[in-house]
Amino acid sequence: LEENGPTTPALLEHLRTEGASYDLVLFWSYRYYPSFFGLPIVRDRAVLVPTAEEDPTVWLDVLGDFFTLPAGYLFLTEEERHLVASRANGPLPPSCVIGSGLAPADLPHPERRGELVDMGVTFPYALYLGRVERNKGCDTLFRHYLQYVARGRPTLPLVLAGPEFMEVPSHPQIRPLGFVPEHLRETLLGSARTLIMPSPYESLSLVLLEAWNHGVPALVNGGCKVLKGQALRANGGLYYHHANEFVEGLTLLATDEALALRLGAQGRTHVEAWYRWPRVMATLEPFLRQVAGA
């Protein structure tokens, strides 16, 4: 945890000398130096947003006691709350699940779709949005997608948008765009037939919520409890556990446009109900007042 950084000894000293002057001190991401070493100093007024995932770090023995220290928790999903509770050496302090707030999405601009065409994007397409790396499940995504193509399923190009940290297979149906500006990112999301989320580690998939915000369905890694839980609660997509399920799920979304539209609409309804800022703040602010009062 020290090596993970960022090392901030002056912040720790500030918490020792001035921490009691704050009503609350909020810490983001348990795995970083400021949270792990700073939270114990002000534990009586510390609120932790752990962003915990089922990756190897969460199983470190040293975290068992640490997870019992905060005065309160803000979780992003129920699955994250269950994970942290299973790792704590005792009952969790008060907590609430807040997710994340989203503003309503704008409709895609036709001229921006033209920009995508100029970049080699053909419609319809499946979209992966995020860092292209093994920790995000992209190696498995490529293997599964190449099986989809090899089995002669309907043409649905795979468009990748995000920085690349691994080799992308050279294939005419795979179109890596690299990092794209914000306006094209939104256009890619709003114009996709489906979003694919292969990540094995998530505490909340914001890009999944963003796709639903645009009414776009998703195909997600069912081995990730958070992604599967999000998909089931929203009824906004399909999940897979192995290559055959991936191929059949993508085939269904590629061929049944009415189903894809219905799943995307259900995802948008879910976002409207749970992830607009007024709803998030109506949960967050009373909880923070409760913890500060205690």
Average pLDDT over residues 125-140: 97
Of 31-40, 55-64, 103-112, 248-257, which gets the smallest average pLDDT? Answer: 103-112
Backbone angles phi, psi at 74, to 5 degrees: -115, 115
What's the Cα-to-Cα distance from 103 to each of 65, 75, 230, rounded to whole Å? 37, 20, 19
State yes or no: pLDDT of 108 exceeds 80.
no
Q: pLDDT by residue (tens digit) across 45-93?
A: 999 999 999 999 999 999 999 999 999 999 999 999 999 999 999 999 9
State yes or no: pLDDT of 104 exceeds 90.
yes
Better-predicted residue by pLDDT, 106 or 62: 62
Q: Return all residues near 281 (Cβ < 8 A) that are at least 6 apart.
A: 101
What pLDDT sits at residue 107?
74
111: confidence class by pLDDT, cuts 50, 70, 90: confident
Mean pLDDT, the chain, integer: 96
DSSP string, the chain: -TTTS---HHHHHHHHHHGGGSS-EEEE-TTSHHHHHHGGGGGGGEEEE----SSGGGG-TTHHHHTT--SEEEESSHHHHHHHHHHSSS---SEEE-----PPPPPPPHHHHHHHHHTT--SS-EEEES-BSGGGTHHHHHHHHHHHHHTTPPP--EEEES-BSSPPP--TTEEE--S--HHHHHHHHHH-SEEEE--S--S--HHHHHHHHTT--EEEETTSHHHHHHHHHHT-EEEESSHHHHHHHHHHHHH-HHHHHHHHHHHHHHHHHH-SHHHHHHHHHHHHHHHHH-
What pLDDT sits at residue 110?
72
33: confidence class by pLDDT, cuts 50, 70, 90: very high
Q: pLDDT by residue (tens digit) across 150-172?
A: 999 999 999 999 999 999 999 99
29: confidence class by pLDDT, cuts 50, 70, 90: very high
Q: Return all residues near 89 (Cβ < 8 A) that are at least 6 apart.
A: 64, 65, 67, 68
112: confidence class by pLDDT, cuts 50, 70, 90: confident
What pLDDT sits at residue 16?
98
Backbone dihedral region of 235: left (phi > 0), alpha (psi from -120 to 50 degrees) or beta?
left
Percent of the chain scoring above 90 in pLDDT: 94
Angle (CA) 158-162-166 rounded to 5° is 80
Q: pLDDT by residue (tens digit) across 207-237?
A: 999 999 999 999 999 999 999 999 999 999 9
Task: Tell me the β-bridge partners of 160.
Answer: 128, 176
Overall pTM > 0.85: yes
Q: If you search the block for the tokens 């992604």, which residue do you land on? A: 227
- Three-state SS string across 202-218, please? CCCCHHHHHHHHCCCCE
